Structure 1
Amino acid sequence: MKFFDFFELPISFTLDEADLRKRFLSNSKRYHPDFYTLESDAKQAEILQLSSLNNEAYRTLSDFDQRMKYILEEKGLLVEGQNEIPQIFLMEMMDINEQLMELEFDFDEPIFTAVKQAVETKEHELEAEINPILQGYIEETASPEELNLIKIFYLKKRYLLRIKENLSTFAHRR
């Protein structure tokens, strides 16, 4: 069963987090295995499966990045080996990657701070560009172009996350 269907929600990149949590808690009570101890083994197995689905669906949909990945995978847009980041973005990241290499060999606080700031600025720029599309997303009328822009945003965001993870390795040198 698809996660959005399970919670009886429309497919959306932006969700009402409080409503999602309310649905999760309601399902948690509804499918709690302790309430089915006197049922048949088959019914107990079914409830355990529904309880697990409830937890997995909530874990996925309550996290923006996981939700985005889930929707893109469901649409068949994230395919191994076919997730290319636009070259222009990679060219923009060359300076940051070169500065990361410098930090590996010789930590420098001003370079560290500049790279961290550049990554945060790029993240904010990307979010500002995509937010109108995410906010206005309607499953039934979404165009392939919109979905492709969301996919590219997701890939760029993942790329920036890897840079941030690399930066965190330098934090202990401060």
Structure 2
Amino acid sequence: MTNYFEFYNLPESFLADEKAVKAKYYELSRAYHPDFFANDTPEKQQEILQLSTVNTNAYRTLSNPDLRMQYILKEHGILEEGGKNDLPPDFLMEMMDINEELMELEFDFDAAKLHEIGENVAGLTATLDADILPTLQRFPDLHGVTKNAALEEVKTYYLKKKYLLRIKETLSKFAARS
């Protein structure tokens, strides 16, 4: 499997230079456009088609912060599909409390309570983002922190963020009903 950062000749980073990603995508889109190889051998046409596909997939992944984070974690074997992706117990307890509050809203809707839960989730998300930012900015030059420890920290952030996103989606459904 092709490493997308190497394919684009860019350093691996959670905070990739999105302008550089886009510029590389357009450069390679022109270079690997199938129309330019219409008179080549079928083998060459197939090779160009594969390179064009890798380019498209690389761009989709590296231009999206969440997909880029997921990609880096998977590339380092830190995030496993269907694997053991545990979250800290204190976070899970906090989420359980929020989910219980949401269940109560199902039976006894209260717009003020919905707003309060939304504010709480927004605050948790903002704190989460602020806490991880220094690690994302320093990666992979971590100075005193091992790369694996940093990746584990980012993995925990990524999983928490996904969990909070699901809660935000539930909040949106409530807001749409009211």
Identity over aligned pairs, percent: 49
TM-score of the pair, normalised by structure 1: 0.95
1:110-139: per-residue Cα shift (whole Å, max 9, x none)?
Answer: 111111111111011011110000001116
- Counterpart residue identity of residue 14, structure 2: F
Moved more, 101-110 or 145-154: 101-110
Pairwise CA distance, 1:72: 0.4
| Alpha-carbon offset, residue 106 of structure 1 | 2.7
Match of 2:90 in 1: 88
Contact 1:33–1:44, Cα closer than 8 Å, also in 2: yes
- Shift of residue 95, structure 1, vs aligned partner: 2.4
Letter in 1 for 2:10: L
1:93-172 matches, within 5 Å, as 93-138=95-140, 142-172=146-176
Matches within 5 A, 1:38-117: 38-79=39-80, 80-117=82-119
Structure 1 segments (4+ residues) deviating >6 Å: none
Please report how far the alpha carbon of residue 143 of structure 1 lies from its aligned counterpart in structure 2 after TM superposition. Answer: 2.6
Kept after mapping to 1: 8 A contact 2:125/2:164: yes
- Displacement after TM superposition at 1:51 (Å): 0.7
Scaled by the length of structure 2, the TM-score of the pair is: 0.93
In 2, distance between residues paired with 1:172 and 1:143? 43
Greater RCO, CA 8 A, separation 6+: 1
Q: Which amino acid aligns with 2:88?
A: P
Report how many aligned residue pairs link the two structures: 174
The residue type equivalent to 1:55 in the other structure is T
Q: Which runs of 5+ in 1 are unaligned?
A: none
Distance, in Å, in 1 between the alignment partners of 2:32 and 2:5 is 17
Query: 1-side partners of 2:90 and 2:120: how far apart?
Result: 16
Of stretches 69-78 and 161-170 in structure 1, the one that deviates more from structure 2 is 161-170
How far apart, in 2, do the equivalents of 1:104 and 1:139 lie? Answer: 47
Residues 140 and 97 of structure 1: CA distance in aligned 2, closer, same or farther (over 3 Å): closer
**Counterpart Cα distance in 2 of 1:9 and 1:157:** 26
Q: How far apart are 1:14 and its partner, in Å?
A: 0.5
* Conserved? CA contact 2:105–2:114, under 8 Å: yes
One-letter amino acid of the structure 2 residue matched with residue 114 of structure 1: E
User: What is the CA–CA distance in structure 2 between the aligned matches of 1:139 and 1:41, rounded to whole Å?
Assistant: 44
| Unpaired segments ≥5 residues, structure 2 | none
The answer to whether the 8 A contact 2:135-2:142 is kept is no
